[in-house]
Structure 1
C-alpha cells in the first residue's frame, strides 16, 4: 500500500527529530524505504535487520499508524525501581560523568552501563530517559551543566552572564572556543538513525582520513560566526585566530568569553593582550564550558554538517565547514541567554545540597 503525502511527511519528521526514540525513527525509515520501491531484502540489509522484521514494522505501520512503530507493552506487572535508585540516577545526571568514563556528558545508555558496571544497579536506558523527561533533564544539551569546583565560580558566573544580559555600550561580546580533532570520515555504509544510539562503534563502517581543529568566535549580539580550521591546536594557533578576530573588529572594545585552558593563557597570549588593552578575556569557571555560548553553535554544526557527513579528505571536511559557516552567517540569529546569575547560583547550590544528602544517606 503506497503512502500518502501526509504519511511520508509524518514519517520523515520522526526520522529527523532527535527527540524521537532512535529505534522508532529507524522503523519509520524502514517504512519510507519500502515506499520508495526498495525490496524487503534491500531494506533489511540497509537497516541491519532480518527481512521478516522489515515486513513486521511495515505491516504494523499500515495497520496502526505511528503508534504501531512503538514496542507493545509486555505482559505482567513492570518491575518497581526503588526510590534510592531513582535518586542516584538524578544525582549522577546533574553531575559530570566520573573521569573513568571518559565522557563529557551522559546519554541514557552510557548512564545505564555505568550503573551496571560500577554500582551493580541494573535499569534500562529507556527507564532513565523517561525519568529525565519527568524531571525536565537533558544532559546532552547546553542547558544543563556539571558541578564546578572553581573557588571563583560565583564571581565568574556573574561576570559572564552580566556580559550576556547587559553588554557594555558600544562593545562587542564574543564567545570563543575550539572543537578539537574533528574527523574526516569516509563512510562505507549508510548511516541510520539507530546508529547514534548504539553503545559500540561500528569501526568497519568508515575510514578515517585525518582530523582538523575548528576554532570559532560567536558574536552574541548578531549570531554571526567567524571560524577557521587548523591542523594543530596550540597556543600559537589560538593567538593567530585571535589576531584574525581582532582585525575583523578594528577599534572596537572586545570582551571575549573563553575557557580557562593553557592554550588561552600562554605567555605570548598574555603579551598580546597587554599590547591590546581594548581586548579583555573573561574566563569561564573550571568545568563549566556550558557558560560559553559558542558551545551551542558547535552542537548545531556537529548535528547538521559533520556527524552525518562523508568526507574523503581533511580538505573536503574543511570546505564543508567553511560552506556551512557562510550559509549560517547569511541568516544568522543570536542565541538569547535568559538565566540570571542568581537563578544559576541558586540551582547550583540546590544541586550541591542534594548531592550531599545523597552521599550522607549512602554512608549510613
Structure 2
C-alpha cells in the first residue's frame, strides 16, 4: 500500500513537472506559468532550470539524503505474520523485544511496523454475545424509545448501582502541585456500603436518584413510587431496565397493575451497554466516587445527592445515534466472524 502510494505520488509529480516545462516552451514567464498551474514561481524556476541543464533526466527526483534502508520487505512481512498468526513459546502474546530477537531487528523497528499496520499485541478486549431469545425484539424496542420516544410520554433509563463503598484513605490526600499529581495512600478503611437507584430522563438528561440500604424488589417498587410522584400526571412513563429478578418480582408486577401509565421495557440479557443510565454511572464513578474520600455512609450518601443536584443544574441528554438495524447488523457480522473455522 505504501509503495503504491509512493508510485502514485511520483507519477503525479512527473506529470506536474512536464506541464511546467511545456508551459515554459510556449514562451510564458515563470509568473504566468505559476498562475496557470496554481503553483509558485520558485517551483517553476527550479524545474525550468533543471530541464535546460539535464533535459528529461532533470525532471526525476534526486537521491534523498539519509541512511539506506536496512529492513527488508520480508522482515516486515515476518513481523506482521508472526504477530497475527503465532505466539512466543510459553507466552500468550508478543512483546516488541521478543519479536525483535525472533526476527533479527531492533525493538524500535518492531514498534514502528506495529504502528504502521495498527497492531497492538499488548491490548485485549472482552465481549459477550447475548443468549436472549428475544434479543432482536428487545433491541428494536429500546432503541425505538431512544430515537422516537412516544408523544405525551417520558422515557426513563433506570438501573441500580449496588454496594457503593464508603472508603476513607489511611492517610490524608496530598494535593496536586506543579509537576506533581495528587497522591493518596493505596490502602483504605471501609465504612460500609450503600445502593443508588437512578432514573435518567433521556429527553433532558436529568436524573432522579434515591439512596437505599439494599436493592430488593420492595426497594425498586418504592423507587417507582418516587418516579410516579415526580412525573407530571397525564404522561405515560416508559421505564427501561435490565433483567434483574427484583424488576420482575410479584410485588413489582402488582404495583404496575395499579399504575397502568407505567410500562417496563427490558434490555436483552448481558446487554447493559444499551441502557443509557450506565453512561451516567460511568460519569458518577469517574468524577465523584473514584477519588472520593468518605468517612461514613452518611457522607457517601450526601456526596451522591450533591452530585445529582450539580448534574441536574447543567444536565444535557446523551445522544443515541445507532439505529436498531445498524446494531443488529454489527452483531450478525461479529457472530459470523467468531463462528468461522479459525474459531
Query: Normalization by structure 2: what TM-score?
Result: 0.63
Change (3 A) 1:181 1:192: farther
Matching residue of 1:64: none
> In 2 relative to 1, CA 280–87 (structure 1 residues): closer, same or farther, beyond 3 Å?
farther
**Alpha-carbon separation, structure 2, partners of 1:267 and 1:155:** 24
Are positions 1:165 and 2:147 aligned together?
yes
Which residue number in structure 1 is paired with residue 10 of structure 2?
Answer: none
Residue number among 292, 306, 315 corresponding to 1:309 in the alignment = 292
Answer with 1 or 2: which has the greater Rg: 2
Residue in 2 that maps onto 1:284: 267
Query: Aligned ranges for residues 97-176 of structure 1 at < 5 Å?
Result: 120-123=91-94, 134=118, 146-176=128-158
Measured in 2, the distance between the counterparts of 1:191 and 1:345 equals 48
Query: 1:338 matched to which residue of 2?
Result: 321
Pairs aligned (count): 241
Which of residues 281, 297, 303 in structure 2 aligns to 1:320? 303
Deviation at 1:333, TM superposition (A): 0.4
Cα distance in 2 for partners of 1:315, 1:277 equals 36
Equivalent residue, structure 2, for 1:226: 208
Question: CA 1:326–1:293 in structure 2 vs 1: closer, same or farther (change >3 Å)?
Answer: same
Q: CA deviation at 1:82?
A: 6.2
Counterpart contact for 1:178–1:215, Cα < 8 Å: yes
Relative contact order higher in (CA < 8 Å, ≥ 6 apart): 1
Judged with a 3 Å threshold, the aligned counterparts in structure 2 of structure 1 residues 239 and 329 are, in CA distance, closer, same or farther, namely same
Distance 2:260 2:119 in 1: 45
RMSD: 3.6
Structure 1: unaligned runs, 5 residues or longer: 1-75, 89-114, 194-201
The 5-angstrom pairing of residues 74-89 of structure 1 reads 86=84
Deviation at 1:188, TM superposition (A): 2.3
Q: Where does structure 2 lack aligned partners over 5 or more consecutive residues?
A: 1-70, 97-110, 177-183
Retained in 1: the 8 A contact 2:198–2:209?
Answer: yes
Secondary structure of the corresponding residue to residue 342 of structure 2: helix
Within the alignment, does 1:187 sit opposite 2:169 as a pair? yes
**C-alpha separation between the residues in 1 aligned to 2:304 and 2:151?**
32
Which of 218, 222, 228 is the equivalent residue of 1:246?
228
2:195 alignment counterpart: 213
Write the distance in 2 (CA, Å) between the matches of 1:244 and 1:153.
Answer: 30
Q: In structure 1, the residue corresponding to 2:145 is in which secondary structure?
A: helix
1:221-249 deviations in whole A, cap 9, x for unaligned? 00000001111111111111111011111
Task: Indicate which of 326, 333, 336 corresponds to 1:353.
Answer: 336
Q: Is the 8 A contact 2:165 2:190 kept in 1?
A: yes
Over residues 181-229 of structure 1, what are the superposed CA-to-partner deviations in whole Å (9 max), with x where a residue is unaligned?
1111101254899xxxxxxxx9961111111111100000000000011
- In the other structure, the counterpart of 2:218 is 236
Which runs of at least 4 in structure 1 moved beyond 4 Å after TM superposition?
A: 80-88, 133-136, 189-193
C-alpha change, 1:355 and 1:242, in structure 2 (3 Å) is same
**Are the equivalent residues in 1 in contact too, given 2:169–2:186 (CA < 8 A)?**
no
